[in-house]
Amino acid sequence: MEPISVIAIFDIGKTNKKLLLLDEQYQMVWEKSCQFEEQVDEDEFPCEDIDALSSWVLSAIETLLVDNRFIIKAINFSAYGASLVYLDSKGNLIPPLYNYLKPYPTELSKKFYIDHGGEQNISKATASPILGNLNSGMQLYRIKNQLPVKYQNIETALHLPQFLSFVLTGNRYSDYTSIGCHTQLWNFTKNNYHDWVMEEGIDLRLAPIKQCDSLGGYFRDSIPVGIGMHDSSAALIPYLISFKQPFILISTGTWCISLNPFNQTALTDEELKQDCLCYISYKDKPVKAARLFAGYEHEQAVKKLAVQFNKPLDYYEKVSYDASLLTEHATQTYESAYHQLMAEIMVQQVKSTDLILNGSQVMKIYVDGGFSQNNIYMHLLSEYYSGKEVFAATIPQASALGAALAVHEIWNKQTLPSDLIKLNFFSSNKAVE
């Protein structure tokens, strides 16, 4: 049997680490996943075991190179954002990789914003709500101020996707999708690093910027390696390639993130207060986004409903849409209570999505992730947006697929397939495939 030409994609989440092989038609032909036990930093706060992760990347790709079923034509990475890895002048790791969920020192935060123009000005210019360590630039600022010896040893700070590329190539780059993801590093108006980055000398420890569709180097001098990209921006790529008319994507999971690549209006103070931000697309364009913690709220609520009505935890998956249950004020059954829950979530979802719809002529809404398979969510969304076309999108491993598509020109001579995404159209009373 002839070996299959593939691209290898490392898709790195905070919990699950995956290695996927996609063929030249971007069909997944092999997958492996693993998890690592967390370490702790100097304050005993949990953090990524970056040594174990980098060792796994090397060993996994070495194993595949001797697998006669596949020919590795290229390698790329998608990974979670707001995470910096530090290297010394010899390319050695300076651990740890700090957890973006770690609380940020209050007094240091106050000092930063007093010294650099205030929260409102910084937040507006960088399209980043004030998020503590989720603003990854603030992680490096903290090290400079609280761990000066460590800071002096840092030659380069790389976001996680670009560090993984470095592991295989030895080359150090930054990329726009990672820099532009609520880091407070990038001034979206000036299209350059914010002034505070230069004022603090942080820019001296950031690698040269490359576009995420660029070649990062070679593994074993022969296999092209991309520079990696932020996973949310990667997940948007299949949609940008497949659809030319303006659209928004509601990517649903623990967070429900509404993404509008066609809204070029600047973020207002009020939008920032309501958790709006901007990403940067793989074509270096701003993508206006709004976040909602709806997936987590749904998860907690269905646990309570299961106990209240003595049902299995996944019973909600069996509940069919029934508009009449939305008019009931009393929740005497699981079905009516679940409809009320979804109605409440939808009110918040519409409020969030409306924030990034304003200022653009979008007529199509695509939903992917968990809620795209929830018929009540989809019917309610189509009713609220009855003047637009609402679709449930099925796209396996969207961020991995996006990372592969980003470097298409580097490894794949085939024409891009036209069926990357499967859609179900929802009207206010039915779904049509």
Q: Which residues contact 11 (CB under 8 A, 6 or more apart)?
A: 17, 18, 19, 20, 77, 78, 79, 231, 397, 399, 400, 403
For the chain, the domains span 4-210, 232-432
Q: Mean per-residue pLDDT for 12-36?
A: 94
Phi-psi region of 97 (alpha: psi -120 to 50; beta: other; left: phi over 0): beta
The reported pLDDT for the residue numbered 264 is 79
Residue 95, classed as helix, strand or coil, is: coil
* Cα 128 to Cα 80: distance, rounded to the nearest angstrom: 16
Q: How far is CA 414 from CA 18, 23, 24, 234, 289, in A?
A: 25, 10, 7, 20, 33
Phi-psi region of 214 (alpha: psi -120 to 50; beta: other; left: phi over 0): beta
Q: Mean per-residue pLDDT for 99-115?
A: 97
Query: Confidence band (pLDDT; 50, 70, 90) for 356?
Result: very high
* Cα 381 to Cα 286: distance, rounded to the nearest angstrom: 25
The reported pLDDT for the residue numbered 187 is 95
Q: By the 8 A CB rule, do 397 and 360 touch?
A: no
430 pLDDT more than 70? no
pLDDT digits (tens, 9 = 90+) for 298-342: 999 999 999 999 999 999 999 999 999 988 776 889 999 999 999
Query: Confidence band (pLDDT; 50, 70, 90) for 396?
Result: confident
Q: Mean per-residue pLDDT for 96-120?
A: 96
Query: Confidence band (pLDDT; 50, 70, 90) for 125?
Result: very high
Classify strands 223-226 and 364-369 as parallel, antiparallel or unpaired.
unpaired
- The residue type at 66: V
Matching fold, domains 4-210 and 232-432: yes
| Nearest-10 Cα torsion for 163, 168, 174, 176 | -100
Q: By the 8 A CB rule, do 421 and 397 touch?
A: no
* Cα 380 to Cα 400: distance, rounded to the nearest angstrom: 30
432 pLDDT more than 80? no
Tokens of 154: 């840092």
Of 148, 145, 52, residue with least CA distance to 97? 52
Query: Confidence band (pLDDT; 50, 70, 90) for 181?
Result: confident
Q: In this structure, which topology does domain 232-432 adopt according to CATH?
A: Nucleotidyltransferase; domain 5 (3.30.420)
Q: Mean pLDDT for the chain?
A: 93
What is the pTM (predicted TM-score) of this model?
0.89
CATH number given to 4-210: 3.30.420.40
* Cα 365 to Cα 392: distance, rounded to the nearest angstrom: 9
Angle, CA of 380, 385 and 388, to the nearest 5°:
130
* Cα 330 to Cα 332: distance, rounded to the nearest angstrom: 6
429 pLDDT more than 80? no
Of 161, 152, 201, 156, residue with least CA distance to 180? 161
Classify strands 84-87 and 156-159 as parallel, antiparallel or unpaired.
antiparallel
